[in-house]
Structure formats: C-alpha cells, structure tokens
Structure 1
C-alpha cells in the first residue's frame, strides 16, 4: 500500500473558461480521499497550492495568456511536488487546467533523471506561443517540459528539458494542431490516436505502451490524465471537449493495466470543470479512475 500526498491546484489561468479552478474541490467532494483509504492506502491531503488572483492578460509579443501568473503557480506546485517525493510519498495532483503539468513534471525532474510520461489526453499539448491558435498555456505543458517554449516556462524549478521525447506516450489523441503534428514527427513521439485505440483495442494499446516504457530503463513514470481524453458523454465537465473519445470502461481498463504494471510513480488528474458538469459526473469519473489506478478491485 502507498502513502499518498494529495495536492490540489486551483489553476484556471492556462485557458479562458472559468470554473476549472474548482476542480480539486469537486474531486474531493466526489470522495477521492475515502476511495483511496478504503483500498488501504494512507492519504495526506496537503490542501491547495496557492494560486493568486491575477489580471487576465495576453502579451501580443509572445501570444501567451497570463504568462507570469501561470509560471508563478507552477513554480509553487513544483516546490510542493519536490517536497512530497523527498518525504517518500506518492504525489497525486488534482487540477485545475492542464498547464499545471509543467509544475508537476518540474518537481518530479529533481528526482528522476529518466522520467517516462503517459499523456492520456484528447490533445497533444505540444504547442508553443508561435504555433498556438489561442495562446492558452494549457495547450503547451508537454512542449515546455521538453524544453520547447518561452524561457519563463521552460526554466520553472530548474534545468530544461525535464523529459525526453522518446520517453513519452500520448494516448487518446484526436485533436492536434499543425505545429503539434510537426513536432511529434520531428521528435519521434509515440502517439496512439483514437484511430489506434479503435483499431487495436485499449488492451493492445496499453500492452504496447507498458512494453515500450519498460524497455527504456526509466527511473519513474508519470501519468498525466486529462478528463477530456474520455468522450464528452462520459465526462461532460471539461473545458475543451472533443467528440469520439475513450469510453468509461476503456479508461478503467487502462488504469487497471497501469496498476498491474507497477510502473506509475506519480499522477495528476486535470481539467475537471464543475460549472460545465452534470451533477459532478466528471469529478466522480475522475475518482473512479483514480480508484482503478490505485488497485481497486471488484472482487
């Protein structure tokens, strides 16, 4: 059984739709602590990283929204994640928009020199200020973690890059911008789009993902799960829903297979927006997936 530190990050500055800052509260309300404790884990809820209220600004010279405020919040998160690992706990981060992955990975990178990443998401999040159609930083954290992007972001909590492109697997992608597609091909990033999920089945996708990462001699694997990876019918409370996503059952299978692999050393669940949700359905789905990732069994 694990000793888990829960870290909430009420960040909504990485995109434009309000409400995702209430994601950590919604996931707690849906019973995440009780779910993990019932499995037998020890849970320490460290509360929320302080995200200060900030004027919403977009710098025309960089095409980045709320750059300083996003960088500051992620720096605080990186410090917290760093501390959690130093103390020997498993960091479980609750978002907030997906820009928080920059802080999570920056904190992890202090402890893992060869970190693997499973990016379970409808999007690649590989944009930069130059390629992003919107300037929303929640579409950039994977690029930033690779050392690609504005120096204010790539330098969060130390050296850059934090991760290597060959150590990444993206699962569930179905909305990629042109610049992201170019970067994926240039860097040789492994991607299972929903076409592959449909064609191969989630079992094979996860088997291949686990085998691929096990061959890399990694010292840790981080799961970054955006609830918009699931179909909007399953997870309506997200800021950037894309039709045709993974099913509830496919996503549970993916989490169950990751738990069986014993690969995962940290995780984050992001983009739950209760304002856009139906009776906290998306937060409840997040909690159920967390249960599967941490070993919950029917029998």
Structure 2
C-alpha cells in the first residue's frame, strides 16, 4: 500500500512477435527517456531486464505465450527479492505472464484501456491476439496455451475492474454484459471524477488484497494528451484523471505487479504521452517523477 518500493523493470519489446515494431518500440523508448531515472531510490536506479524468445521461428501466438513464460519467471524473481515488477510491453497479452508470476492468491486486476481486450478467437474480426488479453486472463480462451505458462491461473471475473474503455465492439459488449467484470467506462470517470471508480475499487477490496494494475496508454485521450498508438481515440482520460485514479489504488491494495503496454512512440510526436506515463508510474509506485 503506501510507501515507496524498489522496482524491477521488465521489458518485453515485441508487437505481434516482432521486436521493436510499432508498439514493440515503446518499452525501450521509455527506458531510454527517463523511466529508470524517475524510479531511482536512494540514488540507485531500478534493476532492469529484457526478455527475448529463444525458440523460432517467431509467430504471433507462439511467441506471445513464450514471452509470457519468460515474464512469469522475471516477475516471480522480482517479488521474491522484494521488488515491485513493472512490465513494459508492446502488447497487452504480456499480462498473462505477469499474472502468472504474481500468483493467484487474493489477486485482482485493474485494467485501464480504451479497448476491452475481451474478444476470443470466435468473436474477433481482426485476428489480433492483443485484443484478447483480458479474455485470456480470465480463462475464456487460449486455455491450453495459457496453461503452459508457469504459474498461470485464471483470475475470477468478479475480481476484475475494466476502466476507461470507449472503443468496444458489439460482440465484446455482449460478452462483458454476460460476465461479472466491473466496467467503469471513460464517460463515467469524466462525469463522476474519481467517485465511481473509488466505489468500484472499494467493492473489489472486499474480495482481494493484492492487485495487478494494467495500463494500456491508449486509455489516455488522444486529443487532450496525445496518441499513444495507432488505435488511440478521443474521449478518454486526461493525464490528471488517470494519475488520480492510480493514486486511489495505493491506499486500498498491495500492488503485486503493474504493466505499461501499447505505446508506439512514432505517434507521440510531442512526448506528452511519455511524460504522462512517467507521472502515472510515480503515482502508482510512490516515486516522484524526475523527467528532466
């Protein structure tokens, strides 16, 4: 809960199995532009590692789950060393490895995203595995592949809060409505400020004490802040709203792990999204941002 903690940075610089492509360029861009400095503790920079697949050839599905296995190992190691694992990934499905490493005991999910990531192979119209990340996390699809990730156990739907969404397909809306996932869309946060999200988090706190915080940077409003990636849209959260929302978490939960995903620096020409990301990491970890 409150207080600063040493952080281990785990970079997964891949998008759809390709290193440094599109959103796969985001993790290393953040590392090269101040994220480590922002997380310095008592003069020491956080430890960091980059995971790399060892088998080939690279393929979207196979490589994604191989990376999940490597992430799981790194997250588990960070936690055993008393560090907070912060996973920087191109795709949201790296969350499967993060959750596996964090372990299922008393664990919930707070998932910030413009999109629901709640498609399955039967409902997707794009075939993009990244649009299935949350569905995989709760055990709705790719069960055999996810089961091969050491330590993975699906998170119960009722222990998931999906926040900031605004670009959701019809099939995903139906699936969400039939699920027990708590949804706080971007409009609700804009109209009600932190109140609605705080109430939802309070309800979650009655069931779990640990939380994985997932931050897809396209939850930020493309007009107010900037475009985090090619899928970003207007109508999202301001940087201030997102930072305040993350601040709500620290007083309610033990943050078991966190992830930043889907940042394509080629769209962030002003650097505003990157600066917002650094501030949000500070709000979540208790480290004052150092962006100079």
Structure 1: how far apart are the matches of 2:287 and 2:43?
Answer: 11
Q: Which residue of 2 aligns with 1:228?
A: 218
Q: 1:29/1:159 Cα in 2 relative to 1: closer, same or farther (>3 Å)?
A: closer
What does 1:118-197 correspond to in 2, within 5 Å?
Answer: 118-158=110-150, 161-197=153-189
Gaps of 5+ in 2: none
Structure 1: how far apart are the matches of 2:120 and 2:147?
Answer: 15
Query: Does the 8 Å contact 1:14/1:137 carry over to 2?
Result: no
- Three-state SS of the structure 2 residue aligned to 1:274 is coil
Structure 2: how far apart are the matches of 1:267 and 1:42?
Answer: 20
Q: Which residue of 2 aligns with 1:5?
A: 8
What does 1:194-273 correspond to in 2, within 5 Å?
Answer: 194-201=186-193, 203-216=194-207, 218-233=208-223, 234-273=225-264
Q: Which residue of 2 aligns with 1:95?
A: 89
Q: Which residue of 1 aligns with 2:272?
A: 281
Structure 1: how far apart are the matches of 2:196 and 2:215?
Answer: 16
Structure 2: how far apart are the matches of 1:278 and 1:206?
Answer: 31
Task: Number of aligned residue pairs: give it.
Answer: 284
Query: Does the 8 Å contact 1:30/1:287 carry over to 2?
Result: no
Q: 1:222/1:43 Cα in 2 relative to 1: closer, same or farther (>3 Å)?
A: farther
The superposition leaves residues 136-167 of structure 1 with CA deviations (integer Å, 9 ceiling, x where unpaired) of 11111111111111234331424664211000
The superposition leaves residues 269-296 of structure 1 with CA deviations (integer Å, 9 ceiling, x where unpaired) of 1111112221443222211211121225
Gaps of 5+ in 1: 58-65
Structure 2: how far apart are the matches of 1:41 and 1:133?
Answer: 49
Coordinate RMSD, CA, aligned: 2.4
